[in-house]
Each structure stands twice: as C-alpha cells, then as structure tokens.
Structure 1
C-alpha cells in the first residue's frame, strides 16, 4: 500500500490493541486511509484455508466501514469487512442473514447499506472482529493522494537525512558515547487534537534505496528512533543530556524493515526525535515522516556556523616584558637567527622538537605544508615568515589546542575519536554544522574514526584561516560574499 500511495503504514495486533482502537480506525476511514486486516497462519498449508466462521486465513481483507447501532437498549460497535474475492463471508453474529438485524430499525439498516448479497462484504461485532482477526494495517495517505471531499487530512512533515560513519552514525542508546551524535530532529507540536489536550502523530522512519543496494550485497539495516522532551535550547543535545534523561516515546523495537512507524500521543511542546541504526558506524540515507492531527514543524538541530576566538593580547614593550617573556624572546632569537623571523623550515624543526616531547600525544612529523599553513594564518606582513609577536600568538594558540586535545582524548590513547571532535572544535571556538563536520571526518579521520594531533592541528588552522578570510571579505556583515574565479582560486590556495 505504501508503494502505491506514498503513505505511511501502521500495524496493530488485535490481541494487544489500544483502548481507543475503534476510534483510531474510525478516524482513519474518515481521513481516507486504506485499512486491511488478516488472520495469521502457522504453516503454508493453512494459506487460504477457510475457518468454520466463514473467514479465510492468510488472506488480505479490506475494512470499509465502522459504525455504532442501538441493539436491545445497548450501543454496539460494528465493523464492515470485505473479502476481495467477492464471495465467502463471515457467518457469525451480524452477518448478512443473522437474526441481529431483525432488531434494527429499517432506516438504520438502510443507512448501514446492509444487504443479504453474497458479495464478499459483511458486518461483524467489533469484539468478534478482534477475536477472529489477528492483524490490522492502516495506510495513512498524504493530502496530495486524497480528493478534496475528504473529511479530515493528516498534516505531513518530511525530513531527509543521512547516517555518516564517523560523524552522525552513532547507533542506538546502548552506545551512549556516540548516540548523541546521531541526527537530532526537533519536532514542535503546537496544539492538541480536537478531542484531547494531547497531540496525536505517527512517526515513520524509512531507510532509503536499500532494495537497489541489495543487488550489490547490502542488507536492510536494523533501525528505530527515540523521542525526547526538548530542554528549550536550539543547540544540539550532548551526551550528558541523554545520560540523565529518559525518552518520552520510542519505536517498539529495532528491526531490519524498510520502514518503522508508530503512533504516539504527547502533550503540546517541543521534542527531539533521534533516528538511529542499532549499531554505530552503519551508513544510510533515511527519510523521517511525521503525520500529525494538527500542524507540526520539524527541523534538524544542526547548529549555526560561527567562530568565537578571542583576539590575541597586545604585546608588551620590551622594557616592560616579564621574565617569562624575556626568556621566550631569547628562545625565539636562537631559532630565528639574524633576520629575527621564523621560516617554515625553522618552524617545522622547533614544533616537531616540542611535540615529540609532549606526553600523551600521538603525532607524526609535522609536514612543511602544515607550517606554511600556520604562517599563512598569522603572517600579517605577507613575508612568508613569522615575527616574534606573531610567533608568540601561535605559541599561545598551540598550548590551548594541546590542552583541548588532551581533554577530549578520553581513553588517553594519543588520538581523539571523530565523534568527540564536535565538542573539541566547539571548545576551540568553532560552532559547525553536520555537513562541515562530515567533510572534516572524511578528510582527517583514519579507518578507526580516530584523529591524531597533527590532523587536529591542521583542521584548526584551516578553519581559523577560512573564517578569517571570509570575515575580511564580508565587509557589510551580510554573511555572504561574492568572488571572481581568480579570487576563488587564490583563496583555495591560501586556506
């Protein structure tokens, strides 16, 4: 039904149906939803087997109506079911020729279109329906699949996203260290349903293109989602939030189906949906659809691009330098030589000498290109070298960055997990969105999703350079710049 209509399906087991089961199905019919029901089989031999009640096992029936009638002083819930064969009908209470209809007013029978034809369509008591049928599937249709005469329509919102290995493929809540890095979708439910001060919605998570990928050996992933109360901030929820807050709702189980969907009722407010695969590091594109009775809004909490790096302190005149600064100047003069400027080669030598002696950092030899990038970042005069004040600014940055790296190298392995990179970059002053983080991970992380200090340093230098150049070109603070072809090539070479 989904393939034909583009709708979202729900599955209910009659034996564990919710208390408002009849109301759910009645509303679904009013919305033009497609409803089917069936009786389970225990073996292939039972397929299309007829029961003593005139029902067929392992067979798809459609549900065409629900109503309530007055019978012997009591209100009775009825359901109308159709066998697509056009024959073979239920023979129990409220079947075509049953005695119950004799106690019903003729006008009421006409309203219910009750006939005694062997046309495959019949009425049942709703309790008998739950007893003899096992499963109901409801396919909720999008507004564009309905005609204009539909009494009610779902409000539909859609979000397309991806799980990317090393960045946003964090796995389920069992993997707390990475769970928080999954895409976070903010769901705003503004008003309750007509009949309650709660919001009814169906959330459906679909993994995309898996049928196509099956041809090259890719199976369906095991997927699910959780819904959390939003604490009010627009910033991404961190690991500590999930450590201390339980979900308000979640999909029943993680399962390897193309789509997982479920109906929920929650008070109006802001929530965060976390769609995930069961295991971390599994890549796929996904589509999250929310069908709600009243208007809802969804938006990925992705963070704004921003940088918050303090300006370097103004240099002290030589006559007021502290003892530490005098020692640092003497060290610089030894490295720089007669011209009192550090070249890329001299910078490479001193940095490698210092970093090799730094404990708990796993580092390769800093390349000459890294040193050129450092000088490009700080060389105000454009000489391709660093003077004393520029060198001192970088030295202070380096000490700060080493401290951040050691803080987020949680297992003290000398490398940092790519999943912790977002927090490390934020501590360094960079607020980035998922797209840029994914690009950084693809460029700098190894096969085990680890980043060593050399790559962390390169990443910070490139980011700061990119933000600095953009800010210099964005003279009107318009958050947009226009560059020529030649200017773009120049920028790409310098960043």
Structure 2
C-alpha cells in the first residue's frame, strides 16, 4: 500500500510472505486471509482475536473524498485489497478511529495469530543478527521503522514501516560481512548507501556468491550492511508464527501452548508480588522444559521460551473510556522442591523416613500451585519488566531444563480482567493450569 495507518503496516509483510495468507485455523476450518468473495459483493475476512479466529463480513463500499480513498490505498489504481482489509479491521475494532495510534505488533498478531517481539536497535544485542536469521528460518515476519528523532538520509523514510526479508553473510575482501535485505512496501524509493543496488561494494563479492542474492532490481527491495541497519533504523518487530499458520511441513516451527484466565476480585485478583497478602491467589500455569535448543543463536545452552500475556478487549475498553490494567508476569522454578504441608488431602503419602515426613515429591505431580513460602520468600527465576498498560507484554528468556510456574497478574490487587497467556518454545514442552494449593515448600 502507498499509505497506511501504523496499525496496518503488517499487511505489507503479508503480501511478501504469501504462505502465511493461507492457513488452517485451530478448529479445522480453512480460509484465506486475503478476502474471499461471495454473491452480492460481500467479502469475508478472518482475524485472530484473543485466542480465536473471528470472521468479519463486509461489503465492497469504501470511504472516499473527491473520488479518492480516504485511508489506506495502493499505488495500483485497480488494487483494493489493502483498503478492504482496513475496513474489515475497523469493523472488528468498532470504527476507523479505533485504529489510530496502534502498534505494528498488534496488526501482526491480529492478522496471523502469532506473537510479536519488539527490539530497540539503539540497544541491539550482540546476537541480534543471528536471532534475525533464526527468525527467518522459523518463517517469522519482520518489520523495521525509523523514529522521528532519528537522523537519516540516503532515501530512507521516517515513520514508515519496512519489511525485513533476508539476513545473509557474504565474503568481501576476505572478510564476512553481515547484510540485511529490506523491502519498502511502496515498491520504490530505496536505500542508496553501501550495499545498495549496483553499489561498488558488490564488486568485492565473487560472482557465484553474488548470484545467490537478488540485488539489482528496482522493486523497493534492497540490501544494506547490518551495521548500517542498526544505526539507521530505530525499531525491529518480529512476529513468530504458530504451527497452524504455516502450511509447509518442511519448515522449522515453534511449539505453542495457550491458556485463558481471569482476575476476579475476591478470588484471583492478587496483584503483583509487593501485595504479599494476595499475590499467591493469582492464577498459576506450569510449563515443563525438557530439551535444550539444537542450535542456539547466542551460543548459550538452554531452552528458549517466549511468554506473552495479553489483556482482552483492550481497544474496545479504550474506546468506551475504561482504563486498561497494568499487567505483567513472574516465573518461578519449581523442579527440585518437595511438599511439606498441603491444604488438600492427598490420597497416598509416601512412607515416612528420617529425612522425609510424609512428603510426596513435587516432580511428576499434576495441578501444582505454589504458596507464599515459595512465591514471597524465594527468588523468582524471570519476570516481565516493567508492568505495562499496553495490550500485551512479551518477553524472551533462555532457561535451563526444568519445571516452571508462570504467574500473570495486574500491578494493583482487586482488579477485574480477562487474559490470554501464550507460551512459545523451540522444543516440545508440557504445559498445564495449576489448581491444587501447596505451601511451605523446601528444597530437596
């Protein structure tokens, strides 16, 4: 599209990654993310909303002024899919106005059902390039943008979303150079700095290596050095896809677990850890990580885990003037603990020994719920930081194999709300909701 509201810039990545546009929803229905029409010029679109795929039906009438489309439009005068997508998305959220001020990551998730991370490139990790390569292998969608405050030239556009479509290393004068391939959705206006189309840097690359890279087409797509990328661009968004969004059986993919839950005043709205009297009443979810990553991008052994906590009805609540909750989560490791006192009666306690006093082992038990002796006195393993009023908080961690309890909460106690908790792992992981309350836990 030539122009787009900020929420809709992921549509440019979807146009590139056509495999994502055809998917099988978790309930077995198949559909196309790009509109499928029926009699009467009606069009059906499917969006992901808080764990479910929702159908939205619209007609083909679009808002115009003086014969021109008011909002999203394509450079091609006869192409209308992006404007129709925007209309369906506006209907889903209640109005066009509700799309104002959105984030690219929200559109990514609503269009694909994936989980989206954001990185400030001014604080780029030394391993970010390897992470980008791994994300592309996993068929993740990526977008980058430039803030208003960033100084730039060489035909890069501020406040504009670009798609990231490749990350490769090439040999140049005997050294490996990291390159990033970027696409301007306008289909024109390209970077003219080092490693741009037909720049002198390509003369240092062997013909057979150069032939593997498309580098001289006037199509809005261009290469640039990774070192220039993190200096010129401000932000990188990566949307990791759920297994059901990928049709190819040969691609690498994430493993995925999803839970729904509620914070309810008087029962499960415990607030953050500083609220010692109520924190333990928050919902708890257990994830068991058994296998380490095969090829860690950062060279560190462990299990990569992505945790996303999303509060429901975020845009609709904002539209009616209701303030969202400040949300976050805390992770505790529970492997290696045993139970010494429980509130519920166990069917068959272990025989007593001098070392144990009727203490069934925690490992292997279902429906485990950690009590105050662990949650208030033990150090947490990881947490989201800080609490946020945004629709979703997402964090990536590298944890050793083991069993972990994830505790989503609001910052303040006694706040009603509903949420979706999503967990992505590189290896298969067992996940469950905890329901049996355990307290006074001790390490074995």
TM-score bin, normalised by smaller chain: 0.5 to 0.7
Shift of 1:218: 2.1
Q: Given the alignment, which residue of 371, 393, 403 partners 1:260?
A: 393
Could you list the per-position Cα deviations for residues 422-480 of structure 1 after superposition, in whole angstroms to 9, with x for gaps in the alignment? 98xxxxxxxxxxxxxxxxxxxxxxxxxxxxxxxxxxxxxxxxxxxxxxxxxxxxxxxxx
Shift of 1:104: 0.7
Q: Given the alignment, which residue of 202, 211, 227 partners 2:306?
A: 202
- Report what 2:109 is aligned to: 2
Aligned 8 A contact 1:30 1:150 in 2:
no
Aligned 8 A contact 1:32 1:150 in 2:
no
Q: Does 1:276 align with 2:377?
A: no
TM-score (norm: length of structure 1): 0.58
Shift of 1:236: 1.8
Aligned 8 A contact 1:226 1:249 in 2:
yes
Q: In structure 2, what is the Cα distance between the partners aligned to 1:52 and 1:133?
A: 11
Q: Given the alignment, which residue of 18, 21, 32 partners 2:128?
A: 21
Shift of 1:216: 4.3
Q: Given the alignment, which residue of 200, 205, 211 partners 1:110?
A: 211
Q: How does 1:174-189 map to 2 (within 5 A)?
A: 174-189=274-289
Q: In structure 2, what is the Cα distance between the partners aligned to 1:215 and 1:73?
A: 57
Q: How does 1:440-455 map to 2 (within 5 A)?
A: none
Q: Given the alignment, which residue of 246, 260, 263 partners 1:160?
A: 260
Shift of 1:76: 0.9
Q: In structure 2, what is the Cα distance between the partners aligned to 1:185 and 1:269?
A: 14
Q: How does 1:336-415 map to 2 (within 5 A)?
A: none
Q: Given the alignment, which residue of 58, 64, 69 partners 2:170?
A: 69
- Report what 1:39 is aligned to: 146
Q: In structure 1, what is the Cα distance between the partners aligned to 2:319 and 2:238?
A: 30
Shift of 1:297: 1.7
Runs of 4+ with >4 A deviation: none
Aligned 8 A contact 1:176 1:242 in 2:
no
Aligned 8 A contact 2:120 2:236 in 1:
yes
Q: Given the alignment, which residue of 164, 173, 176 partners 2:273?
A: 173
Shift of 1:149: 4.9
Q: In structure 2, what is the Cα distance between the partners aligned to 1:142 and 1:150?
A: 15
Shift of 1:240: 2.1
Q: In structure 1, what is the Cα distance between the partners aligned to 2:235 and 2:318?
A: 29
Could you list the per-position Cα deviations for residues 238-287 of structure 1 after superposition, in whole angstroms to 9, with x for gaps in the alignment? 12212221111111211111111111110110011110111101111111
- Report what 2:333 is aligned to: 229
Shift of 1:125: 0.7
The RMSD of aligned alpha carbons is 1.8
Q: Does 1:95 align with 2:196?
A: yes
Shift of 1:183: 0.7
Could you list the per-position Cα deviations for residues 289-342 of structure 1 after superposition, in whole angstroms to 9, with x for gaps in the alignment? 0111000121111018xxxxxxxxxxxxxxxxxxxxxxxxxxxxxxxxxxxxxx
TM-score (norm: length of structure 2): 0.65
Shift of 1:118: 2.4
Shift of 1:227: 0.9
Q: In structure 2, what is the Cα distance between the partners aligned to 1:104 and 1:216?
A: 58
Could you list the per-position Cα deviations for residues 63-120 of structure 1 after superposition, in whole angstroms to 9, with x for gaps in the alignment? 00010111111111111001111111111111112111001111211101121x3221
Q: In structure 2, what is the Cα distance between the partners aligned to 1:134 and 1:75?
A: 24
Consecutive unaligned residues of structure 1, counting only runs of 5 or more, are 305-421, 424-495
Give SS of 2:432's match. Answer: strand
Q: In structure 2, what is the Cα distance between the partners aligned to 1:216 and 1:91?
A: 46
Give SS of 2:293's match. Answer: coil
Shift of 1:150: 5.1
Q: In structure 1, what is the Cα distance between the partners aligned to 2:162 and 2:380?
A: 36
Aligned 8 A contact 2:198 2:215 in 1:
no
- Report what 1:124 is aligned to: 224
Aligned 8 A contact 1:227 1:273 in 2:
yes
> Which entry has the higher C-alpha Rg, 1 or 2?
1
Aligned 8 A contact 2:327 2:393 in 1:
yes
Q: In structure 1, what is the Cα distance between the partners aligned to 2:251 and 2:127?
A: 20
Aligned 8 A contact 2:273 2:376 in 1:
no
Q: Does 1:285 align with 2:418?
A: yes
Q: In structure 1, what is the Cα distance between the partners aligned to 2:177 and 2:279?
A: 48
Aligned 8 A contact 2:328 2:386 in 1:
yes
Aligned length: 299
Q: In structure 2, what is the Cα distance between the partners aligned to 1:135 and 1:150?
A: 30
